[in-house]
Chain A
């Protein structure tokens, strides 16, 4: 039987050095007694020097877990950790065995440590000591953690409060950050830390004011802020009085008859009303766009961000009509700015058309979609929705009065003609619309984006550009 004496409980380096030697010498856990300094030692322990028999390597995540769990107050921790390290030498997947008793114990002990550590990060309350001639402030705190976690906790405070000096004192140990150096020392007492801080009055006022007396949930508070921490939290002394007064405060809210409205409110409100007038004018494209924002004629408006009006040259010779705004168009409030819009821009370029000289709009002005997790999946508008929205398209046609209208896709065709027809049946044969414009029918650019077959996509793209070019020469022919 070997006896190992640990001088500083919770010191990982000391345990690790001892354990490493024992593991290398292949001393099984049952042959070791771990003792704390000061405990009575056995007279018959084995003191022969350890002879290394093997190389000791442990998985990295196990070592970081051991580093935490050594801080646990359970007196058997050095023994249990050695057993686990011993088993891990021959079982590399030990930590994955969640149903193993040792691993289960380790997971629970680790959880307890991490929780305590998290509470230390949360519940340490600094009090100000003063500042030096450069203006660097110094603070101190008294804290009583469940486990010996000062060393683990100090790392967090160094990262957070690098620009000030601080000391955290606990019954077991202290951590001091000064001159940008972190040092550890022996445990201390509460008296070493100031018993008040000027800002505490503000903090307690904030705590009392942010509390909502109408929704008292004491169990929820105590689950997350256990009573054992209360005596070091300045705000905790207010819990009892706040609770005692809560019922009466709610009762007062109930009983208070509704008073007259604040007389000043009318003055404050004037501006709001001035803006509330919604323009219903249809004489200009701008007026139309404003009115469009208030449109609720069909049900798809309520989930979309905004109606997307057409844009472009107010007296354009050529008007392009798409189906409906997509995800990006809906966010930005402009037509054809998403992936289909990029493809359209490229195609226009190749067809020799300048988008700035055109008027670009859609048959339906709101984005219709199906929410799917973090994405919105495009849904085709129904013929009913296209027909309802046609009113807006007709207004745009009346104001812009183009010679040529290019319909992109089937929905646009329906929106312009009022009839459903296949694109193939009208493509390549310009028709005169009831309004006198010449209709050039082609596909929607997003159709090209969806084609999986490369060869077919290239052919369709060429045909699409040809349609746009045809619209261009038609427009030229009319003006000539």
Chain B
């Protein structure tokens, strides 16, 4: 077989990687190249170096080592039975691309994944080798995200954690039943075991760091940006409730930094039992909002589901507002007296606005006229709060409150 030119391989292997939503380069330790002959720095929020017209950030060089795959997961463009063109990079080529892109400031680093070739261990070894070359041979200090191949041996996972900032194992589908029918070679048990292995690595490294005798002693390194996972939304019949239940269980068990929700998007050469529908982008967005409510706003899954209908989140309004409309007896709240936990539940107030309000009210009562300086969504907040010079009166309980926020109904296009 003749070797494909690098440009052609790049086209195939980037195209094959684009269904992984994560491109984050955040959450890792601060480090930089000062004083070295190498390049690379990380820390803070991470940087999105470009945006594709699909609105997604391009932060990392996100590619597969190869899109050959012995698995046959039906939602995946790279499944064995798909007729997409195949290609394979060797580790040196990936290293070269990463460094070339990085030096031109196109990227924050590399996100490397792969189809399963030969065996899980062989595949994982190849991924680890790329990361090792970058770190050891090229003194690369940028961000590295490696996919952990579910079922790879714990020793390889440990080595991956040594070089990578982040590791991720995709659970793919929210329920075991979904996985069984769509990804016959994968089992959620193997996936969870792999994530458990990563968590044990994270725990052990944290434990060892705490146990150092000297603060200056070097802390052991294991994936400082933690681990993440991805679930595909809309490929199987899972409801939002199932998805959030799965997410809360994963967050609690494996110290995940993020669960990514990826709207199933039609792929070329799709399997016959997947309808080539428009990806459910709003649903994906609502799931992210619900995920944020779980992690940063003190909501429980059952509370979020109070604003849902039969286990599905409301698509027209956001989940916090949907909850508040069901719980009007809790409102309005006094912006100058309510505890932080209650402010976080006011529709329209984000975590930053809440901090600003708390800071401002220490130095004097917050009045209606001050609100615009503290939050961008005054109109949304008004029915749910009081200030010394504002009471919503009957607004909080008015029957058409929902209509105030829901976008006006659109007439169906007849051209369809």
Contacts and interface: CB of A to CB of B under 8 A. Distances in A.
Interface string B66-79: 00111110000001
A210 B176 contact: no
A17 interface: no
B7 A122 contact: no
Contacts of B72: 265, 269
B51 A293 contact: no
Contacts of A163: 33, 36-39, 139
A374 B33 contact: no
Contacts of A459: none
B42 to A, nearest CB: 9
Contact of B105 (A125, A239, A254, A303): A125
Interface string B337-369: 000000000000000000010011011101000
A246 B272 CA distance: 22
A272 interface: yes
Interface in A129-157: 137, 139, 141, 156
Given A262-B83, A269-B72, A376-B252, A207 B103 contact: no
Contact of B269 (A118, A201, A259, A303): A259
A369 interface: yes
A123 B251 CA distance: 34
Contacts of B105: 124-126, 141
B54 A216 contact: yes
Interface stretch (B14-22, B209-217, B304-312): B14-22
Contacts, number: 252
Most buried by B among A159, A276, A373: A159
Interface in A294-312: 302-306
A341 to B, nearest CB: 14
B103 A126 contact: yes
A209 B15 contact: yes
Interface stretch (B185-193, B324-332, B407-415): B185-193
B54 A98 contact: no
Nearest to B154: A332
Contact of A253 (B6, B39, B276): B276
Given A215-B281, A235-B50, A374-B251, A160 B6 contact: no
B320 interface: no
A323 interface: no
Contacts of A210: 14-15, 17-18, 52, 58, 62
B199 A253 contact: no
Interface stretch (A64-72, A219-227, A389-397, A442-450): A219-227
B344 to A, nearest CB: 15
Contacts of A304: 192
B54 A217 contact: yes
B34 A159 contact: yes
A56 B276 CA distance: 68
A268 B70 contact: yes
A125 B49 CA distance: 10
A98 B374 contact: yes
B373 interface: yes
B48 A224 contact: yes
Contact of B370 (A99, A212, A239): A99
A202 B82 CA distance: 26
Interface in A379-405: none
Given A224-B57, A371-B249, A258 B271 contact: yes
Contacts of B17: 210
B92 interface: no
B94 to A, nearest CB: 12
Interface in B99-147: 100-101, 103-106, 119, 139
Interface residues of A, number: 91
A211 to B, nearest CB: 4
B53 A217 contact: yes
Nearest to B253: A376
Contacts of B19: 212
B61 A159 contact: no
Given A141-B105, A372-B252, A253 B373 contact: no
A295 to B, nearest CB: 10
A93 B15 CA distance: 53
Nearest to B199: A331
A478 interface: no
A145 B70 CA distance: 49
Interface string B223-262: 0000000000000000000000000110111010000000
Residue of B11, B63, B103, B199 with most chain A CB atoms under a 10 A cut-off: B103
A431 B338 CA distance: 60
A203 B104 contact: yes
A238 to B, nearest CB: 9
B53 A96 contact: no
Contacts of B6: 202
Contacts of A199: 100-101, 104
A433 B283 CA distance: 56
Nearest to B15: A209
Interface string A192-204: 0000010111110
Contacts of A305: 189, 192-193, 195-196, 253
A195 B62 CA distance: 26
Interface in B1-40: 6-7, 10-12, 14-15, 17-19, 32-40
B270 to A, nearest CB: 7
Contacts of B51: 220-221, 224-225
Nearest to B71: A272
A216 B51 CA distance: 12
Given A98-B374, A212-B265, A215-B281, A197 B104 contact: yes
A261 B79 CA distance: 10
A100 to B, nearest CB: 8
Contact of B185 (A272, A306, A327, A330): A272
B307 to A, nearest CB: 20
Contact of B39 (A156, A164, A208, A258): A164
Interface of B: 6-7, 10-12, 14-15, 17-19, 32-41, 47-58, 61-63, 68-72, 79-83, 97, 100-101, 103-106, 119, 139, 176, 184-185, 188-189, 192-193, 195-197, 199-200, 248-249, 251-253, 255, 263, 265-272, 276, 278-279, 281, 295, 356, 359-360, 362-364, 366, 370, 373-374
15 contacts: A122-B49, A126-B105, A128-B103, A163-B39, A205-B10, A207-B50, A209-B14, A216-B54, A217-B56, A242-B52, A243-B53, A256-B269, A269-B80, A306-B192, A371-B248
